[in-house]
Amino acid sequence: MAVRIGNIDLGEFPLLLAPMEDVSDPPFRFVCKQNGVDLMYTEFISSEGLIRDAAKSRQKLDIFEYERPIGIQIFGSDIDTMREATQIASQAGPDLIDINYGCPVKNVACRGAGASLLQDIDKMTAMTKAVVEATHLPVTVKTRLGWDDNTKNIYEVAERLQDVGIQALSIHGRTRSQMYKGQADWRLIREVRRNPRIRIPIFGNGDVDSVEKAAAWRMEYEVDGIMIGRASIGYPWIFREIKHFFQTGEYLPGPTIAERVSVCRTHFEKSIQWKGEKTGVFEMRRHYANYFKGIPHFKEYRTRLVSLTDVAEIHAVLDEIGEQFAMEEVA
């Protein structure tokens, strides 16, 4: 049976790209979409930044037709500000609005936004209700199991947020105090999914970094779909590989060197188109090591790639990588 958010049909078992600050921008989303992701989100956007018309926040509202369905994710600590930001975000034409109640980083959580709302479920519920009422679009939420091991309140959170109108919930299997350490615990996600009161799709998130895990956890934890974050950085093929396995029971071979170079180059070109040459070149530097992870003697190439500023020279190094390693693959 197809999973639906409002009237958005996501297919039988959707794969979602997690919103990641400084990662899930339009250039990165482009290469993930080419590899079969079913639903994507923008980087999270500060509600205060939107209202102040801050350039960085506004730029994050950029979405493109080929990305659909896509959600704009917002965060904030003030209910009225979140209501106003929802109206602004809705005008940008996304398919849904997502609220971030999961971000654990200090400058978000310690300002009363993101995961810190897990310490005040009444406020979280009121804020969610305000967002739902401020838009004609479906509203979804991304959150964590709780603030720490003593306050794992996701079961109550899921019920209360569903009651005020959210239409899907993504749960990261860690508490805020865990940050990204230790292992994600999906058992509570399964309990939420099994709750007879819950009617909305429940998506699991955290530590899915292989076809095997996706297949095993789909069965074991009974989620409606899986959200993937860090494992897709520099490896957008993960979506393609998981989908292929679900459809055929067979493993796709990993990307060739030529494919790695080609997708890295596409990402680079889109980065320049969207951000301009200077920023595009600079911000692409964080991705090279991931695209060529595991390739022997890549360090020397990476050193060159992260020091160059000329677009043609970067393309020349990518050509060189393709030629060098293609010869080794043949040999």
pLDDT tens, position by position, 225-278: 999 999 999 999 999 999 999 999 999 999 999 999 999 999 999 999 999 999
Region 137-144 average pLDDT: 96
Same domain for 97 and 222? Answer: yes
Least reliable range by pLDDT among 17-21, 28-32, 131-135: 17-21
Same domain for 219 and 73? Answer: yes
**Residue 142 assigned to a binding site:** yes
The domain that contains 279 carries what CATH number? 1.10.1200
Same domain for 111 and 140? Answer: yes
Residue 109 is predicted with a pLDDT of 58
* Cα angle: 135, vertex 101, 26; to 5 degrees: 70
Between 328 and 203, whose confidence is greater? 203
**Residue 315 assigned to a binding site:** no
Residue 104 is predicted with a pLDDT of 66
Same domain for 74 and 205? Answer: yes
Measured N-to-C along each axis, helices 26-34 and 257-275 cross at an angle, to the nearest 10 degrees, of: 140
How many domains are there within the chain?
Answer: 2
Same domain for 16 and 61? Answer: yes
The domain that contains 143 carries what CATH number? 3.20.20.70
Same domain for 73 and 166? Answer: yes
Choosing from 248, 268, 300, the residue where a domain stops is 248
Task: Flag whether pLDDT at 34 surpasses 70.
Answer: yes
Residue 233 is predicted with a pLDDT of 94
**Residue 178 assigned to a binding site:** no
pLDDT tens digits, one per residue of 122-137: 999 999 999 999 999 9
pTM score > 0.85 for this model?
Answer: yes
Region 161-190 average pLDDT: 90
Choosing from 230, 248, 266, the residue where a domain stops is 248
Same domain for 116 and 225? Answer: yes
Catalytically active residues are: 103
**Residue 204 assigned to a binding site:** no
Same domain for 76 and 156? Answer: yes
Same domain for 201 and 296? Answer: no
Choosing from 248, 270, 289, the residue where a domain stops is 248
pLDDT tens digits, one per residue of 46-96: 999 999 988 889 889 999 999 999 999 999 999 999 999 999 999 999 999
Same domain for 244 and 326? Answer: no
Q: Which percentage of the chain shows pLDDT scores above 90?
A: 80
pLDDT band at 328 (very low <50, low <70, confident <90, very high): low
* Structural domain harbouring 316: 257-330
Residue 119 is predicted with a pLDDT of 86
Same domain for 185 and 119? Answer: yes
How high does pLDDT run on average in the chain?
A: 92
Same domain for 288 and 263? Answer: yes
**Residue 194 assigned to a binding site:** no
pLDDT tens digits, one per residue of 92-109: 999 999 999 877 666 665
